[in-house]
Structure 1
């Protein structure tokens, strides 16, 4: 490792290229957090040069470190240095110099333009791609950088890359960070050179061309000679990843996904030694996570318990958890990169391409779970219901079953999913705790992994043998009791109720209606017996002249059944508000005539003319029958010792 202090001029007058590897994150510096403070530092150094302190040399401004690793040249080409760390600083300095170059060109300041051309452009050799650029940004930034390079002015850049208007808010979308940085520096340079606003001195005359030239020349001196960096050139035996992680322990937060990506492609560079091969790997296996078209999915902020992180990090968490070999092991989101390193050493041969293939295979299934593209895919439907139930703790088990053991479970996938969904939905309806399910599923995966063959029978038998409130698969008896008596509307979230009723709705369709299944995420949950029934429209079910105890008993029974599934249905919002607390004969007519849902055709189909506690229980029983068809649980066959003896004897 060879550190040395250099000025921006020393760094950029060399005829070489500073290549930001394709696996580095995109340019992310923004105006408020980094660009404006940098400009204020540059302005401070320029003002020191404008108002020199006699006998005192201006102190240089330290910008931080850049870590470089020289790449082996092939043929006649400029020396290329791979930027291990400091790409944001290098790219920003180039954008500042390009903005200053273009302003000087617009004012015909030939000397300044010549100096800045030497710091932003290499003389052409053979016309090879990007050889003239001093800094070659990461792949995803190159189109924006090329637009800045080719435009030569903010006005022309705006023509090449016009602002995009947001339809909903009717305002311009934020500019890409790299283009925004060039435009910010262009405005700042013009404002300093042509006005006195940044000098905060109203007594100064408006700058004429002589003063504009002086200010631009001083600005060039400040940037090229007063900005100082520490340049660290790595030796062949230095570990770039260790140095990168150490230098990035503070500052702009690097997500575990960034660290994993850097680790893998630094390792790929070691293995292949040819950038074209590394780029091919990146484009084949990793680009989907960074590409602007698919990055919205992987970079979306999601919650896992008390943590908020990007979805790609959550995928890594579930993937690494699925790879654990012991149920007493643990992975924490806060130590995800360390967990990846442990897995790399323990489970892989060190072949980068094999690891990238594995990650891609798992991520394809993970996305199928999280973002289903069809309603008929049973696994994707399960994923949709899992998100509603907020039970992502099962994801590692699913990755084990349907990716690691895909060849064994593929033919029985729908059946396995049906059993797992039954297990979870029954627990939700029965109000059983979910806190320990992560341990249940981790233990299940590690124990099933010991089997040579894993199919539906093995998964089902495992679930049937779980016991106790923290793990059991509720029986029909418990499921029925809770279905008919639990105040679901009070104990379950509204999305969970909608999910359950939607499933009951779909189950009643024939094979000819399946393609028309309505998605009922936005439907309103309606109480058939209203939550605030009036005495006139909904009289108590007691004999005339009944005593207070009988009335209270009837009142309590009605209240107990009011929020059960037997009294709940789904309707559109307008229909919900129109029915309100109406009498049953009005509601029945509205539901039968205005709603196409099977849930509401029930009243006409079974000729229901009054709605009382008996009717609520009867409908609850009917819906329960459908629910057990959707989420069945096989009975555990109990065989007596005598029967076993008879079987052995026979």
Structure 2
């Protein structure tokens, strides 16, 4: 590797010099603010009377082979493409502007005439095709930059090359001749670190990471793409990119671009049964690829598999599913916690292991599970790990049964709410503040309809208004305040209307009989309101019960034979066929100075305390197992260090970590409860 300071224009102006941005590099992405900042720095530098030079970063490239006397291979630009591209666009816009000036104004300081700019910094005059251009961008931006350099009509494109060129043209049109001279001087004073890598000798990926402060400013997707493709032969790079990576990028184009990092995180979770930390996806992906390569899987297979999973993810999460019944289930799923498990399901569906009807039933069960828990206001911080734990519990021979049974036997804070709990929450909770209230009313309104009704133009209406005026106080009776406080935001008092402003705080009779009132409402959800004489406590109770029972039909709890469910419950308690990866993750993040019980951990991971204790004593990879104690805070008589040569006393180790003991029992003030263990794991995953 050679690294020297050099003037950027000297680097670009070398005879026959050509830079090509490899296909694996991210698209050109600088915005107006970055362009304006660069332009301001250049002009300021050029206006100084001293010989001040402006440092503008590093240019890292893999040097071309020697080639022949008649041709030279391009250098592969692997870092600094954003700056080089922006300077190229600026030079092209400057040349275009100067070309419109009077002949004696076309070269502000000498060496910057339109012809000089083109001949020295933008093109290789005697070459043709791609060799004519000093800089060739990757597929998305390539044609746009060619048009800019050639002064050709700009293509209709979302490429930032087009918009930034137009921006520079407009800005430079405002410049005086002296300002244009300052710009030219500033361009000639731009200095970069010229980092030349040798093919076959330097490690481009390692240099790339270090130059970018291990990825600062780059998305995980950028780093992963570079890692996968960078050190492959050019022909193989092009094939993998064009056949798999570019089609995958198209699925994540535009507003979906930010979803790629989330997808890779879900993909790795599906493959490894372990959730990478939010900011550690790239490192986790590299580790996964390394482990796969150790097992004989090459990059081609990994890229193909990633592409296939990206297709399934886009179908589920980015509204690209063509099967309408599947699409409607994916649309209803407003939480992303299930995606690792859904990727497993989709893979088996695509491979024919899981039938379409069974897939639909499982999706219905997952939607019901998530929705019921949301209604019942059960904390969500364990859901990520809940679905990860289900990855290893699928029985291919009894696919549907094994998935449903696992969901129905989830314990305590992971539970699948039963009908009684669901009905009670529906009728009693503050439904107006419920995040999915509109989803609920949409489902209620369209249940059983063949012609879908959009509720987007309707607003949530309090039948008994938030302001209980004298008329409403009279209608509600002596205990009007208690009724108003209790029932105001409950399900029975809420509905949909397009006449919210007109209804205002009017009495029920007026809301019922007015133009557009409840009597005339076309909505199913308002049926029955038009025949009521008054809106009373009993009426609200009856309506809440009616809607709640309808919700049971829309979000039914799956049914399997009681004996089958009990068998899976017993297997779960005994740890048979159990996935212990979540237990290991929790143990890894348990802090010193804290302890928990076998029962608390068993509740979190969904097994029995005895099975968990047996696993801890038998498995050498259980970090911090000594922080797990009996229910009363005593160290288990059966505790053994995984290393048979370890002679430390567990109590002494705990004391050194800050655990306080009263007699033989650890302080309950330092005990981590199940919800704290779940929150601890969730916060660790978000880092």
What TM-score do you get using the length of structure 1 for normalisation?
0.74
2:466 aligned with 1:507: no
Alignment of 1:102-501 (within 5 A): 102=96, 107-108=102-103, 112=111, 113=113, 115-116=116-117, 117-125=119-127, 127=128, 129-151=129-151, 160-161=153-154, 176-177=160-161, 180=164, 184=168, 188=172, 191=175, 194-195=177-178, 198=179, 223-224=187-188, 227=191, 229-249=193-213, 253-267=217-231, 270=232, 272-274=233-235, 277-288=236-247, 290=249, 295-299=253-257, 310-325=258-273, 329-347=274-292, 349-372=296-319, 377-387=324-334, 391-404=335-348, 406=350, 407-411=352-356, 412-448=358-394, 451-453=395-397, 455-468=399-412, 470-490=413-433, 492-493=434-435, 496-501=436-441
Task: Give 1:499 deviation, angstroms.
Answer: 0.8
Query: Do the aligned partners of 1:30 and 1:181 also contact (CA within 8 Å) in 2?
Result: no
Task: Give 1:475 deviation, angstroms.
Answer: 1.0
Task: Give 1:19 deviation, angstroms.
Answer: 0.6
Task: Give 1:350 deviation, angstroms.
Answer: 4.9
Structure 1 stretch displaced more, 71-80 or 591-600 = 71-80
Specify which of 519, 533, 540 is matched with residue 454 of structure 2: 519
Give deviations 1:147-181, integer Å, cap 9, x for gaps. 22121xxxxx7xx34999xxxxxxxxx99346525
Counterpart of 2:640 in structure 1 is none
Task: Give 1:374 deviation, angstroms.
Answer: 8.3
Provide the rounded CA distance (Å) in 2 between the counterparts of 1:570 and 1:506.
13
Query: Do the aligned partners of 2:124 and 2:133 also contact (CA within 8 Å) in 1?
Result: yes
**Per the alignment, do residues 523 and 356 of structure 1 end up closer, same or farther by CA in structure 2, a change over 3 Å counting?**
farther
Query: Do the aligned partners of 1:317 and 1:331 also contact (CA within 8 Å) in 2?
Result: yes
Task: Give 1:517 deviation, angstroms.
Answer: 0.9
2:79 aligned with 1:85: yes
Query: Do the aligned partners of 2:228 and 2:299 also contact (CA within 8 Å) in 1?
Result: yes
**Per the alignment, do residues 630 and 124 of structure 1 end up closer, same or farther by CA in structure 2, a change over 3 Å counting?**
same
Q: How many residues align?
A: 548
Give deviations 1:614-638, integer Å, cap 9, x for gaps. 2222222222222111111146755
Provide the rounded CA distance (Å) in 2 between the counterparts of 1:222 and 1:610.
80
Query: Do the aligned partners of 2:265 and 2:281 also contact (CA within 8 Å) in 1?
Result: yes
What TM-score do you get using the length of structure 2 for normalisation?
0.71
Provide the rounded CA distance (Å) in 2 between the counterparts of 1:162 and 1:17.
23
Task: Give 1:96 deviation, angstroms.
Answer: 4.3
Provide the rounded CA distance (Å) in 2 between the counterparts of 1:373 and 1:97.
41
2:501 aligned with 1:577: yes
**Structure 1 ranges of 4+ moved more than 6 A:** 218-222, 373-376
2:499 aligned with 1:564: no
Provide the rounded CA distance (Å) in 1 between the counterparts of 2:83 and 2:517.
65
Task: Give 1:528 deviation, angstroms.
Answer: 2.5
Task: Give 1:95 deviation, angstroms.
Answer: 3.5
Give unmatched runs, 5+ long, in structure 2: 565-687
Task: Give 1:435 deviation, angstroms.
Answer: 1.6
Structure 1 stretch displaced more, 345-354 or 477-486 = 345-354
Provide the rounded CA distance (Å) in 2 between the counterparts of 1:5 and 1:413.
60
Structure 1 stretch displaced more, 32-41 or 617-626 = 32-41
Structure 1 stretch displaced more, 175-184 or 436-445 = 175-184
2:535 aligned with 1:611: yes
Query: Do the aligned partners of 1:6 and 1:231 also contact (CA within 8 Å) in 2?
Result: no
Name the SS of the counterpart of 2:124 in structure 1: coil
Provide the rounded CA distance (Å) in 2 between the counterparts of 1:261 and 1:379.
30
**Per the alignment, do residues 47 and 427 of structure 1 end up closer, same or farther by CA in structure 2, a change over 3 Å counting?**
closer
Provide the rounded CA distance (Å) in 1 between the counterparts of 2:93 and 2:508.
74
Provide the rounded CA distance (Å) in 2 between the counterparts of 1:183 and 1:484.
58
Alignment of 1:543-562 (within 5 A): 551-552=478-479, 555-557=481-483, 559-562=485-488
2:63 aligned with 1:70: yes
Query: Do the aligned partners of 2:215 and 2:223 also contact (CA within 8 Å) in 1?
Result: no
Query: Do the aligned partners of 2:427 and 2:544 also contact (CA within 8 Å) in 1?
Result: yes
**Per the alignment, do residues 96 and 633 of structure 1 end up closer, same or farther by CA in structure 2, a change over 3 Å counting?**
closer
Name the SS of the counterpart of 2:58 in structure 1: strand
Provide the rounded CA distance (Å) in 2 between the counterparts of 1:253 and 1:100.
29
Taking only aligned residues, the RMSD between alpha carbons, in angstroms, comes to 3.6
Alignment of 1:4-83 (within 5 A): 4-7=4-7, 8-30=9-31, 32-33=33-34, 36-37=37-38, 40-41=41-42, 44=45, 47-48=48-49, 58=51, 61-71=54-64, 77-83=71-77
Provide the rounded CA distance (Å) in 1 between the counterparts of 2:373 and 2:417.
6
Query: Do the aligned partners of 1:29 and 1:35 also contact (CA within 8 Å) in 2?
Result: no
Give deviations 1:412-462, integer Å, cap 9, x for gaps. 1211111111111111222222121112111122333xx344632211101
